[in-house]
Amino acid sequence: MAGIVECVPNVSEGRRAGAIDRIAGAISSVPGVRLLDRTSDLDHNRSVFTFAGPPDAVEAAAHALVDAALREIDLRGHTGAHPRIGAVDVVPFVPLAGTTMDECVALARRFGRAVAQRHGLPVYFYARAATRPDRVRLPDIRKPQFEGLQDLMSTTHVPDAGPPRVHPTAGAMVTGARPPLIAFNIELATTDVAVAKRIAKAIRESSGGLPQVQALGFELTDPPRAQVSMNILDTSVTSLPTVWHEVERRAHDAGVEVLRGELIGLMPLDAAVQVTADALRLEGLTRDRIVEAHFIDQAG
């Protein structure tokens, strides 16, 4: 397999800097892989790493991340605002230049089976790598969380690979293949988390809201505020500006101001162009109007 693959694992540790550094170091130690971004959140108690490279190197780096994270994280003492079922909660593979989605599906399934065998960890396949329709959506798999997963392992949550029992310290893992997404949060000038939860329910696709949008409402600290946390699965369907305006409108209807947006990890260039076009009301702004994009496209 030639080309470039991106991997965006989410791990259940966002507070212990030393542990996060060691996990990042495990990724960076693999030749041929570039660690592009790392983002940690204290309230969510979660870190997101973004790395890319040739498929074989990315697969090796994903295994190195799992090895390091399982040494560092014990879910029996883990608390945080974000739902999770595993120390290494989700490992998505994203096709970039010269790589197809089918190749990333095969990579994810191979990686997941190897992790299951190596660590005795139950593994689920999601998104394009899902083997059944009720496992396409990550929230459906993660719904019972670490604490409730074992009770469902003989019914709705029989693993796709690995043993039908939750690992005592690492829980379970989800892996799959998907297109690029944007993880984006909007913080509100209120401590009333019910406002954020109402907005999240109104805008997420599963509740009849914006297509290709997942959303939850969270309570944050230091300083206290509410947050609408989102995954935008396809910005060609629902753009980042559309999401921002909808959250802002609903917040204003509730008498609440928007404080700021927060990008988790990286975003595609075309999505950034959409934001610029919206903010400046530029009609017809496309990536071919961006100087650097011409060199990026040539390199790809």
Q: Which of 132, 157, 177 is the last residue of a domain?
A: 177
Q: 3-class DSSP state for residue 38?
A: strand
226 with 165, same domain: the answer is: no
pLDDT in tens, the chain (300 residues): 569 999 999 999 999 999 999 999 999 999 999 999 999 999 999 999 999 999 999 999 999 999 999 999 999 999 999 999 999 999 999 999 899 999 999 999 999 999 999 999 999 999 999 999 999 999 999 999 999 999 999 999 999 999 999 999 999 999 999 999 999 999 999 999 999 999 999 999 999 999 999 999 999 998 999 999 999 999 989 999 999 999 999 999 999 999 999 999 999 888 999 999 999 999 989 888 888 887 765 544
pLDDT of residue 296: 66
Strand order in the sheet with 258-264: 213-220, 225-232, 182-188, 258-264
Pairing of strands 88-95, 173-177: parallel
Evaluate whether 170 touches 213 at the Cβ level (below 8 Å).
Answer: no
51 with 135, same domain: the answer is: yes
145 with 189, same domain: the answer is: no
Phi/psi region, residue 30 (left: phi>0; alpha: psi -120 to 50; beta: rest), is: beta
Active site residues: 82
Question: What's the CATH code of the domain at 154?
Answer: 3.30.990.10
70 with 114, same domain: the answer is: yes
Does a structural domain hold residue 235?
A: yes
198 with 248, same domain: the answer is: yes
9 with 157, same domain: the answer is: yes
Full domain range(s) for residue 66: 5-177
127 with 258, same domain: the answer is: no
Task: Give the separation between CA 2 and CA 224, rounded to whole angstroms.
Answer: 47
DSSP state of 7: E
pLDDT of residue 1: 52
Does a structural domain hold residue 89?
A: yes
Q: Which of 142, 177, 212 is the last residue of a domain?
A: 177
Residue 86 structure tokens: 């595993």
Q: Residue 57's closest CA among 108, 4, 102, 101?
A: 4
Does a structural domain hold residue 52?
A: yes
Residue 233 structure tokens: 């699965």
Does a structural domain hold residue 91?
A: yes
13 with 155, same domain: the answer is: yes
Does a structural domain hold residue 198?
A: yes
Neighbouring residues of 125: CB distance < 8 A, sequence distance ≥ 6: 108, 109, 112, 131, 135, 160, 161, 174, 175, 176
pLDDT of residue 300: 45
Q: How many domains does the structure of the chain reveal? A: 2
pLDDT of residue 149: 98
pLDDT of residue 297: 56
164 with 186, same domain: the answer is: no
pLDDT of residue 97: 84
Residue type (1 letter), 226:
A
pTM of this structure: 0.89
250 with 170, same domain: the answer is: no
Does a structural domain hold residue 233?
A: yes
pLDDT of residue 295: 74
Question: What's the CATH code of the domain at 255?
Answer: 3.30.70.670
Task: Give the separation between CA 145 and CA 153, rounded to whole angstroms.
Answer: 12
172 with 189, same domain: the answer is: no
202 with 163, same domain: the answer is: no
